[in-house]
A = this chain, B = another copy of it.
């Protein structure tokens, strides 16, 4: 997996961090956080915290004591051991887009299906750089609603050999994910020893954690599976319109959720989540890849490290309706800060289009190209005497070229990163080859990868047990 050994780009001064620290302490104490779950409120009460109905006003020092119980770094097992992940420190993991109800393929935009879900899982599996297909790589609208989570989990478990995300629609769905994970990884005890799935728990921002998400969190935290506690902040709608106020709110919401996880099971792994952008104040539309979101992302990394927590942020986000120039620049406006901040768990790293409403086949491939380039760029340069290639300069001298130099001949195959999607063909050759733009070439690559896809090997008994579980539970759920 990718380890980012380049420097972090930090933009918050100690003074600024102090202001933010005072801010979240005040917000946590004076305004408080709502937990729409009796179980959650009871845990806080039992720990000596003040609750007024579902509204909890937490003592900031108590919160920090809980946060300190969470591991700074932890492992997550994949069924292919080479694909297991380490979350935290300089390690970065990348998952596909999460949640879109629609897909786009060329000029066609339509409701996503289970076949799309499987195809995106296959594309994730065939990628060398993506660590996870994520969870809801698209919302399979043709699958029965109550048992859809079984189909999705089964697809992620069988079509990929990588870490997958757990279903969070309800506590029941979370229990199904855990049961299926226990089948795949050799029992509940095994998955409690080293976690095997990561789950996204979103805050209903501002300052409110909802019951269904909390029910899922209870299941996952109790089982020692990491949860990503994520304030969902589109500034102007779910938070005030200044970045500092959004950061303070983000800290308050995330730390409150993390404190809960540590009351559920002390020491269980958590990830400080961030989903931070802004709306267009004239239309109310969500905007992505904005300067404000990039700034927020850089700050978020520094804040998460301040609290000693791994963090989630970033992705190749865009508002663009098609995989065009805007889709690319907005995506990179988020992905480059994602690397500068050293984000540990990156969701939406491939395929996100149209504000997250659409999973795009072309954008998926474009994003993988960008991801590969960034991994290359964020690999430290080795500078030593040998790297200066003095002999090549002696050989070539003045005004010549290095194409045939001995130093070049020894290294020409591997000296530079070679893109699989970008074209540097000259105009005549490019025209002769059909003058395909980047989106068209990406579509062709997606088709080729799907045609060549081979499922990763899986013990047939395990696969049958998983299929049985899905069938039995589907029947119970009445689908």
Contact = CB atoms under 8 A, between A and B. Distances in A.
A424 B283 contact: yes
B320 A241 contact: no
Given A236-B402, A413-B281, A27 B424 contact: no
A25 B280 CA distance: 54
Of A384, A387, A417, A421, the most chain B CB neighbours within 10 A belong to A387
A22 B443 CA distance: 49
Nearest to A23: B388
B206 A19 contact: no
A287 B389 CA distance: 22
Interface string A331-361: 1110010001000000000000011010000
B332 A387 contact: no
A328 B329 CA distance: 5
Interface stretch (A190-198, A263-271, A391-399): A391-399
Interface string A113-157: 000000000000000000000000000000000000000000000
Contacts of A6: 11
Given A31-B394, A325-B328, A329-B331, A20 B383 contact: yes
A324 B26 CA distance: 47
B411 A241 contact: yes
Given A280-B418, A329-B331, A319 B240 contact: no
Contacts of A419: 287, 290
A64 interface: no
Nearest to A415: B241
A91 to B, nearest CB: 19
- The 6 A-B pairs of least Cβ separation, nearest first, read A328-B328, A291-B376, A291-B377, A319-B424, A325-B328, A245-B389
Given A283-B425, A325-B442, A355-B424, 19 more contacts: A20-B383, A22-B385, A236-B402, A237-B403, A241-B402, A243-B381, A244-B389, A249-B393, A281-B413, A290-B373, A290-B416, A290-B419, A291-B417, A292-B417, A320-B423, A321-B435, A326-B328, A329-B370, A333-B336
